Amino acid sequence: MGLKQRHILFMALGGSVGAGLFLGSGSAIQQAGTSVLLAYVMCGLVVFLIGRAAAELALSDPGGRTLNAFVGRYLGARMEFLVGWSYWLIWTLVCISEITAAGVFVRYWLPGMPQWAVAALLGAVLLGVGSRAVALFGELEFWLALLKIWAIVALILCGLAVILGHVGPAGGSASFANLLAPGVILPHGAAGFAAILPVALFAFGGTEIVALTAAETDDAARVLPRAINGIVGRIIIFYIGSLAVIMAIVPWALADAGHSPFVLAFDRMGLPAAGAAINAVMVLAALSACNAGLYATSRTLASLAESGMAARRFGARTANGVPAMAFAASFGTVLAGVVLNYFLSDRVFGYALQGISFLLIFVWGTIMVAHLRYRLTEDAARDGAAPVASLPGAPFSNLVAIAFLLAIGVDIVWGGRLYVPFALDAAWLGGLLLVNGLAARTGRQSRSRSSRSRSNGLV
C-alpha cells in the first residue's frame, strides 16, 4: 500500500506547521502587527503556485521521482545536481533544527537530561518508523500533524468563545477590534512589513514535498492536485485564524520572540495549564517536521544516486520500496548535526540555519523556471490538451512567483543584512559546481581511456 491523499496532505502540513508557528510567530507579530496576516496570505498564494508547478512537473515525469529529477529533465544535469544536493542540505538542516528543538522542549519535563540524548532517543523512534514501509511513515505523519491541527483548532475555538462570549479573564479586553487599533496595523511601517515577508514565506516551506511522493502515491494524478489545493488553503486558515485570535486576545505590545504567543493567549484566557500542553504540541510539531524532512532527504539522496550523482548504494531500495541506505545516511547526518550543534557556537549554527532561506529561494525559483521550460517545450506536443494538475495562469504566474522570490532574496540580504549566510550559500553552490565539473571531467577522461583501449584491442 502506498501513500494516500490524507498522508500527502498531512505530510506537507507537518513540514509547514512547525515550531515556527507555535514559538516563532511572536517575533513576527511584534515586528509587523496585524499586517502579518496580509503577509501570510500573500506568501501562501505564491507558494501555492510553486506547489502546483511542482505537482505538474512530477506528474509529467514518467519516472515519477523527485524535484531534482524533473529539474534535470528540463534544465540539464548540472542544475539537477545543484538542486538535488541543495534540497538535501535544506531538509538536513531543518531536521537538525527541529530535532534539537524537540530536545529542548522535552527538557521542560526532564531538565537534567542532556539535550543530545533526548534528540537521539526521539530520532531512534523516527528511524524505526522511517525504515519501514512508506504507508507506516504516512500514518505516523498523519497523526503527528493531526495533533498539531487539533491544538490550533482548540486555540481558535477557545479564543472565539472568549472574544464573542466575553467570558474568562480576557473577556473584557478581547475583541477583533484590537486588530485595527491605532498603531497596530503597521507599528514599524513598511520596513517592518518587509522584514517579516521572508518569515511568512518560509513558514510554508515543505509544501513542495508532495512532488516527491508521486512514485509512492496511490492514484497520484488525482491525489496530488487535490492535496496541493487543500494544503495551502488549510495552512493559510490555520496561520491566519490562530494569529488573528491571538492578536485579538493578547495586546500587541506583549508579543515577543522569547515567549510562545499560544501560551500567552491561553494564559489570558484563564488556562495557564495549557502551557504544558502547548509544550507537548511543540515537541510533536518538531518531530513531525523532522519526520517529513527525513522522507525528503532520503528520497532526494536516492534519486541523486539513481542519476549517478551520489554513491550507487544510496539508490538501493528494500522490498517495500524504502531507500534504506539513503535513509540511514540522512539520519546519521542529522544526528551528527545535533552533536555539532552542541559544540558549535550558536552564531555559527544560526548562520547555517539562516542559509536555508537563500537555498530554498534557489530551489523554488528553479522549479518555476523548469516548469516554464516544460510548458514551452511540451505545449506543442500535447496538441492543445490540458496538462495534468496545470498551474493556473502559466506562464504569467511563473514570472510573478520568480519576481517575488527574487524580491524576497534582495530583502533578506539588504534589509535583513544576512551577508554571512548569503556568502555561505554562494560558497556551497560554487563548491557543488566545482565538484560537478570535476566529476564530469573525470567521466569524460574515463570514457576516453575506455574508448582507446577498445580501439587498441581491435587493431
Instruction: Look up residue 428 and give its three cell numbers.
Output: 556551497
DSSP label of 185: S
Amino acid present at 357: S
Q: What is the pLDDT of residue 334?
A: 82
Report how far apart, in Å, the C-alpha atoms of 185 and of each of 37, 197, 199 are.
10, 15, 17
Q: What is the pLDDT of residue 459?
A: 41
The full set of domain ranges for the chain reads: 5-444
Q: What distance lies between CA 318 and its chain's CA centroid?
A: 26
Q: Are 30 and 257 in contact (CB under 8 A)?
A: yes
d(CA 4, CA 386): 24
Residue 382's φ and ψ, nearest 5 degrees, are -85, -10
Q: Smallest Cα–Cα separation from 141: which of 126, 156, 161?
A: 126
Q: What is the pLDDT of residue 241?
A: 87
Q: Are 292 and 7 in contact (CB under 8 A)?
A: no
Q: What is the pLDDT of residue 434?
A: 93
Determine whether 306 is exposed, middle or buried from the number of CB atoms within 10 Å of its CB (0-12, 13-18, 19+).
buried
Residues in the chain: 459
CATH topology classification for 5-444: Amino acid/polyamine transporter I (1.20.1740)
d(CA 316, CA 312): 7
DSSP label of 269: T
Q: Are 375 and 394 in contact (CB under 8 A)?
A: yes
Q: Smallest Cα–Cα separation from 388: which of 374, 399, 400, 398?
A: 374
Instruction: Tell me the helices (H) and strands (E) count for the chain, helix number first.
Output: 16, 0
Q: What is the pLDDT of residue 365?
A: 94
d(CA 123, CA 101): 12
From its phi and psi, is residue 314 left (phi > 0), alpha (psi between -120 and 50) or beta? alpha
d(CA 210, CA 233): 15
With cell 538536513, the residue in question is 92
Q: Are 47 and 227 in contact (CB under 8 A)?
A: no
Q: Are 67 and 300 in contact (CB under 8 A)?
A: yes
Q: What is the pLDDT of residue 257?
A: 62
Determine whether 421 is exposed, middle or buried from the number of CB atoms within 10 Å of its CB (0-12, 13-18, 19+).
buried
Q: Which residues pair with 24 in a beta bridge?
A: none
pLDDT digits (tens, 9 = 90+) for 233-268: 777 777 888 889 988 888 777 777 666 788 788 888
Sign (positive or negative) of CA dihedral 228, 229, 231, 233:
positive
Q: What is the pLDDT of residue 29?
A: 84
Instruction: Give the pLDDT of the chain (459 residues) as one tens digit per residue.
Output: 455 666 666 666 655 666 667 766 777 888 888 998 999 888 888 988 898 888 888 777 655 567 788 888 889 999 999 999 999 999 888 888 777 777 777 777 777 777 677 777 777 777 776 666 566 666 777 777 778 788 888 888 888 888 887 666 665 678 888 888 888 888 888 888 888 888 888 877 777 777 666 556 666 666 666 766 666 677 777 788 888 998 888 877 777 766 678 878 888 888 777 767 777 877 877 777 787 788 888 888 988 998 889 988 998 887 777 788 898 888 888 888 777 767 765 565 566 667 788 899 999 999 999 999 988 887 545 544 455 567 888 889 999 999 999 999 888 888 777 788 888 889 999 999 999 888 877 755 555 555 555 555 544
Q: What is the pLDDT of residue 20?
A: 64
Q: What is the pLDDT of residue 61?
A: 66
This prediction's pTM: 0.84
Q: Are 240 and 37 in contact (CB under 8 A)?
A: yes
Helix (H, G, I), strand (E, B) or coil at 3: strand
Torsion of Cα atoms, 222 then 227 then 230 then 231, to 10°: -170
Q: What is the pLDDT of residue 418?
A: 79
Residues 6 or more apart from 117 whose CB is under 8 A from it?
103
Q: What is the pLDDT of residue 380?
A: 46
What is the Cα Rg of the chain in Å? 23
Q: Crossing angle for the helix pair 67-75 and 274-306, nearest 10 degrees?
A: 40
